[in-house]
């Protein structure tokens, strides 16, 4: 969803990670998210979500990891 907040837009997304294999997966899960081409004026942030550790890897990129 995106909302017009004056001169900017506020967009929120949900990223779903799903095991499509035939056996359970018990390892670490890591998600790398980025905005291609570093759009002018765009910023990224993640709300604190328990059990996920999100760190910026660039001006418009994050890596989020959760343990096994």
The tens place of each residue's pLDDT in the chain, 68 residues long, gives: 788 888 778 888 787 888 899 999 889 989 898 888 777 777 777 776 778 888 888 888 889 898 87
Distance CA 61, CA 46 (A): 11
- Encoding tokens for residue 2? 């995106």
For the chain, the maximum distance between any two Cα atoms, rounded to a whole number of angstroms, is: 48
Structure tokens at 11: 């967009």
């Amino acid at each position: 969803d995106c909302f017009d907040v004056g001169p900017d837009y506020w967009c929120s997304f949900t990223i779903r990670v799903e095991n499509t294999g035939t056996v359970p997966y018990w390892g670490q899960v890591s998600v790398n998210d980025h905005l291609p081409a570093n759009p002018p004026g765009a910023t990224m942030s993640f709300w604190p979500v328990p059990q996920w550790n999100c760190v910026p890897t660039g001006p418009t990129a994050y890596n989020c990891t959760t343990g096994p």
